[in-house]
Structure formats: C-alpha cells, structure tokens
A and B are shown apart, each in its own frame.
Chain A
Amino acid sequence: MTAIVAPNAERVADVPERAQRRAIVAIARKELGDAVRSRWFWMWAIAFALLAAVLASVALPGSRIAGSASFGRTAASLVALVQIIVPLMGLTLGAQSIAAQRESGALRFLLSHPVNRTEAFWGIHLGLSVALLAAASAGFGAAGLVTAIRSGGAQAGAFLRITVLAWVLVIAMLGVGMLISVFARRASAALGIAVFVWLAFVFLGDLGLMGTAVATRMPVDALFFATVANPIEAFRLAALGSFVGSLDILGPSGTYAVDALGPALMPVIVGVLVLWMILPAVGAWIRFRTAKDV
C-alpha cells in the first residue's frame, strides 16, 4: 500500500466541496492501485475475459445458418457467465475492502490523515468501482471483439446494453460486499458471508422460489416480483429483454409481466438494479460513518 498523497492535505483550506472531492479521488486512486496490484483482481479479470472470449467463439460457428439467432446464443451464454462471475467479483472485493483494512490497521492510518469517514468510504467505493468496471470491460471487450470480427454484429446495440447492465450489476454487488464489510468483525468472516450471499443470490433464491412455486401454486405476479427483487435476476431479465426483445418467452410469468407493466417493464427491472446499486452502498456508508471502530 502506498501512502496518501500529501498535497491534498495542504489544499484542504480552499472550497470545502472541492477539497472533499479531491480527497475522495485521492483515496480512490490509492484504492484502485491496490486493487490492480492484488492477485484477486487479475484472477477475476483474466478468468472472465478468457471465458467470455471462449463462449463467444464457440457460440458463433453457426452464424452463417443461424444469423442473429446465434448471437442470441452468445448473449445467453454471456449472461449466464456474468450472472455467476460478476457478482462474485463485486462481492468478494467489496467484502474484503473495509474489513481487511480495518484488520491490518490501514484504515486507522488512512483516517489519521485529514479526511473524514465519508470521504474515506466513498473514495474506497469509487476506486473499487473503477477497478471492477475495468475488469468487466476487459471481459466484454474480449467477447465483443470476437463477436464483431466473426459476425453476429447485427445486435451491437443489445451487446452494449448488456455490458452497461453488467457494469451496474458489478457496482451493486460491490455495494452489497461493502455492506457486509462494514458489519463484519474480521476480513475472513466478511469473505465467508460474501460467498454465502453470492450463493443465495445465484442459486438459493431461485431454487427457493421454484420450490415455492411448485409446492404452493404461487401466483405469477408474486413469483415475478419476488424474482425481480433479486439483483442478479433483475440483471438477467433486463439483459434478456434487450437481446430477445420481449419477456414473453419466459412463459406465464413473463407474459404476465409484459401485460401488467407494458412499456414500464424494462424501466422497472432496470430500476430495481439501480436501487441495488445505490441502497446497500448508502447503508454501508451510514453504518461506516456512525461506527466508532477503525
């Protein structure tokens, strides 16, 4: 870890807002540097980029026959990959952030500078966000490059929309991870909880809903909204909507959603995702600001 840049501290005297912004950026840069130098970051970035590129290239050979349908295949595989890897990236990185720094004493050192807890929190959040966006972009860039060169580009718009949705998802998951981090006593506990939360989002939530639907004949509207409340499902449905065009294909629940929400369907789903991006991070910030521990 590198020391906080001194000049910022000296310039605090001018306009407070600008000073605060400068402090956040300085902490973010330091956090970004730490993230990029960490093994975690490279592991995720390389694994994601490789898998995405491989998926894009195995899904495309049928494109002469299948036209844009094979792009649908690429997109569906990519969405499944994102559903699994991207939340894990965000959650683990977020969960380790504050808890690990608290444990190692780095947080105490950081807060001994003339920065307040709000600046420290959002600085860390911003730095990690940029790191995660870079990792996600590398993966999507690799998949997009393969797709663009080997055709399937009829739906460039859909591909780019999925990318943006994945960005939102990764920041949302970072927020959840940081929420875990501010509450956890130890970094290892935070990591464990993060993995469990990931399991709940990706598998247990869906399996639970499936089981409930099968066992209790749950009404389709309840099933749909309970599903959309899960950020990873919100991402999947929004992504599906952007490359299939309609959620009709998802059976009765999808048809219900299309009928009931009409043109508001996509804004609602994306809205859920955006709420997940904002609320956990704000919750973590409030907790971090009021907590006395360093």
Chain B
Amino acid sequence: MRTRIVTIALLAWGLVSVAPSLAAQEPTDLQALIDDAAPGAVLDLAAGTYRGGVTIDKPLTIRSDGAAVIDGGDDDTVITVEAPDVTLEGLVVRGSGDTLDREDSGIYVKAPRVRIVDNRLEDVLFGIFLHQAPDSVVERNVIGAKDVFVARRGDGIRLWESHRTVVADNVVDGGRDAVFWFCDDLEIRGNRISNGRYGLHFMYSDRALVEANALIDNSVGSFLMYSKDLVLRRNLISGNNGPSGYGVGLKDMDGARLEDNLLVGNRVGVFLDNSPQTVGIEQWFRGNLFAYNQIGALFLPSVKNNVFWENSFVDNTVQVTVQGGGRFSGNRWTNDGVGNHWSDYAGYDADGDGIGDVPYRLDDLYDHLLDRNPEIMLFSETPAARALDLAARAFPVIKPRPKVEDPAPLIRPPAPPEPPFDLGVQPSATLLVGSIAMMAFAVVVVLSTRRRRSL
C-alpha cells in the first residue's frame, strides 16, 4: 500500500488540508480524496503528483499553489467536472490522451458556474473544454498543447453552450483554436493566443465582448462566424500569416464592431465574407490601425454596408481590395465627414482642417491588374510594379476606375490605439556586432589601400 498521511484540519469553514508525503514515489489517489470530501469543501493539495482521470461530482474547491501536478498519464481526460460551482485553482494539469473524437481534455466541464483560475495545462489535446457550463470563469490559465501535427490538435479553449462565461488573461500557445460555439454574452479579455490555427473562433455566439487580447502568429487571428453584435476592441492582432490567413475574418456576421484594434503584419488585416448578411444592418470599423499587412482589408464581391472611418491604413502592400476584382460599392469610407488616414494619400490640405481637400482614390494600375491576374502578385513591391503605377498616373489614358473613394481622408493618422501587450523587441547584440563588423570591414578595406600607397 502507499504511504501517505492525511491531515484533516476541521476548521470553522470546513477546510480540508491534504499533505501527501513521499509523494514523489507514487501518485496520490485524487479520486479518493474527492470521494471523501463533503460537498462545498476545500481541498488544499500539497506539492506532489496526483493521479488524473478524476471526476468531480459535487461542488468542491480544489486548489494548490502551482505545486500539485495532476497527471493523466497520456490517457483520456484528466479532470472531468460534472457538478456546478466547482473551483479549480493553481493546479498543474498534464498528459491527457490524444484521441480527437473522444475529446480528451485537460479539464472537461459539464456543469454551470465553474471557476478555473491560475492553472497550468501541459501536453493536453483539448485544454479547457466547457460543455454547457454557463456563467463560468476561465482566468489566468496557461495552456500548452500537445505537439502534434496541426490536423490532430485539439482546441486550447473550447466553449459549447456556455453563456455569459468570462475568459480572461489566459495564455494559450499552440493547439487549434480558442473556439466558442453557441455561447451568448461572452467576455473575452486580455488573453494571449499564439501559434494556433484560429486564435479566437466564434460560431453562432452573439453579443461577445472581445477586448485587449493579443492574437499573434496564428494562421488566423480571429475568425468571427455566424454571430451577431460582436464587439472587438483594442486587440493586438499580428503576424497571422497562414496560407489563407487573416487578422480578423468575418463570415456571415451581423452588426460586428471593430474598434481601436492593431492589425499589423498579417497576410490580410480584415477579411469580409457576406458580412453583414442581413439587409439594413451596418458594420463599423473605427479607429483601427491596419499596418504592414499584405492586404489591409479584403472583401468578397458584393459585400456591402460596412462603414470605415478614423482608421489608419499604413503601408499595406495592397491597402484594400475586392477578391477577384470589382469596386466597393455599397460600403462607406467616410462617416459624418470623417474618413480614414491613408499612407499613400497624395493630396493636400490647404484650409488646414486636417481633412484632405481632394478625395483619396485607390486607382493603382498594378492593384487593378492584380485583381484580375492574381499570379502577378509575384511582382508586388518590385520597382517594376511601382513604375507601372507611376506610368498610369503620368498617362491617365490607362487609368483604371477608382475602387475606393474616401471623400474626407485624414491628413494625420489618428493616435494609434494603446497596445494591450508590448511587442517591442529587444535590441539585438548579434545584429549590433554583425553591423559593426561589416562597417569595420569597409573601413579596413579603404585603409588597406591607403597603407599601400605610403609604401
């Protein structure tokens, strides 16, 4: 039999304290502790390893200071929660199975009002899976996925019919998506999601508030689908460069609002597919920074009723375009006499009111050709492509019809939104040394010729 000492301290509030000694030798039977505990009890786990594959079937708080490891032994789900009002706090959960159709998870919840906070999940297929667990809180967890081929990965966070849940300040790396199915009134705040497929993925989830998240180096930063009245605000969305990667993709959305987001260095900043889908609804894009993307905003043909104002479009290879060509008819680029800032605007502001006196027109010949001949994207940003645009301006006979007309372009870019996370990279010693070496080489070459002459 195992050696263990169970200390039950019956304090006023019924705290149960468990201190397994010699824990290193054999995992403690957590299920037995759960079975022994009274409903509403608090299990304070001491440092050590506990056997996973447990089911919590009564309201319970299980917590630790990050030293209790619950190991699933690479099989099945590590912790299953079947009772409401369960709190899991400060645990290390590791080693779920890797079977996708069984949905092997770190923490799988089937009951409402759970709190999952400050846990670390390692080597799990699905991380935190809330299945019909409304009014829950998922906060400050760190989730690391199983290192398998992308098609075999599970979701770092997956919510199914779990309305009014708060998902905040989690860090998710790898895995597939953080995905929300049929969940209304979610609050998704301060999460940092990287190296996954879709950073945040909304399916039929209405009225979500998505704020101050960082979605970095995923295939798609955030894919919003079939949902209504979603607000995406102050997020940092960068480096989402999958072959069909988007910073934010909107498919069949209604009434989405994107405000003060930083969309930087993605393949496509914002992608619009049949959004808004209902006639008479407008979608707002205000105060966003679209910078250094391959394409700032990409529309499918016949997408209408989107309003863009006070955004900055800065040095995107293609600022905005319609897939397969065409014009942006039915969308507005100015609201109440305020347009957007365009880094390639070549007009002037003689009256000094901050608004350009001639409209911004997107009528690059190269862009125009690109719409119909996507294969010449091979030449984007070459001197030849620039020369083509220059020629089109000099000889307007081949000037294409403008795709976009912003009648009130902003001369100065609006102040960029404050980033939720600082991406500032460290000065690099390698580059410093390399650069100095290069300059030194140049100097030595020049000096060597001088010395020869003096001989």
Q: Which residues of A contact B (CB under 8 A)?
A: 2, 29, 32-33, 36-37, 45, 62-73, 76, 80, 83-84, 130-131, 133-135, 137-138, 140-145, 147-154, 156-157, 159-160, 163, 202-203, 205-207, 209-210, 213-214, 218, 220, 223-224, 227, 233, 236, 244-246, 248-255
Contact = CB atoms under 8 A, between A and B. Distances in A.
Contacts of B441: 133-134, 137, 141
B99 to A, nearest CB: 31
Interface stretch (B26-34, B108-116, B168-176, B286-294): B286-294
Q: Most A CB atoms within 10 A — which of B241, B294, B445? A: B445
A213 B265 contact: no
B387 interface: yes
Nearest to B382: A206
B438 A68 contact: no
Contacts of A144: 431-432, 434-435, 438
Contacts of B369: 210, 214
A165 B435 CA distance: 15
Contact of A145 (B374, B426, B432, B446): B432
A134 B447 CA distance: 11
B428 A148 contact: yes
A64 B423 CA distance: 6
Contacts of B241: 244-246, 248-249
B388 A254 contact: no
B430 to A, nearest CB: 4
B377 A250 contact: yes
17 contacts: A62-B292, A65-B416, A67-B423, A80-B381, A83-B383, A134-B442, A141-B441, A144-B434, A148-B428, A153-B432, A159-B431, A214-B373, A223-B376, A250-B380, A251-B370, A251-B377, A253-B378
A171 to B, nearest CB: 15
Interface in B393-445: 416, 419, 422-432, 434-439, 441-442, 445
A205 B385 CA distance: 11
A227 B380 CA distance: 13
Contacts of B439: 137-138, 141-142, 145
A73 B432 CA distance: 19
Contact of B425 (A37, A135, A154, A254): A154
Most buried by B among A133, A140, A144, A209: A144
Nearest to A219: B375
Contacts of A251: 370, 374-378, 380
A252 B378 CA distance: 8
Nearest to A137: B438
A244 B436 CA distance: 25
Contact of A160 (B379, B434, B446): B434
B427 A153 contact: yes
A254 B431 CA distance: 29
Nearest to A218: B375
A182 B202 CA distance: 66
A69 B378 contact: no
Contacts, number: 218
Interface of B: 236, 238-239, 241, 243, 262, 264-265, 267, 289, 291-292, 294, 314-315, 369-370, 372-385, 387-388, 416, 419, 422-432, 434-439, 441-442, 445-446, 448-449, 452-453
B294 A72 contact: no
Contacts of A252: 374-375, 377
Nearest to B245: A248
B69 to A, nearest CB: 33
Given A130-B445, A253-B378, A80 B383 contact: yes
B388 A66 contact: no
Given A36-B449, A68-B425, 14 more contacts: A36-B446, A63-B423, A66-B423, A67-B265, A69-B238, A83-B382, A144-B438, A153-B425, A153-B429, A154-B428, A156-B430, A203-B384, A251-B377, A252-B374
B421 to A, nearest CB: 9
A149 to B, nearest CB: 6
Contacts of B381: 76, 80
A76 B432 CA distance: 20
A153 B428 contact: yes
B432 A148 contact: yes
B238 A2 contact: no
Contacts of B431: 144, 147-148, 153, 156, 159-160
A223 B387 contact: no
B294 A145 contact: no
B387 A203 contact: yes
A238 B65 CA distance: 49
Given A36-B449, A134-B442, A69 B292 contact: yes
B265 A220 contact: no
B435 A145 contact: yes
Which of the listed residues B294, B374, B383, B436 has the most CB atoms from chain A within 10 Å of its own CB? Answer: B383
B247 to A, nearest CB: 11
A66 B428 contact: no
Nearest to B437: A141
A184 B369 CA distance: 39
A209 B378 CA distance: 10
A120 to B, nearest CB: 18
A202 B372 CA distance: 24
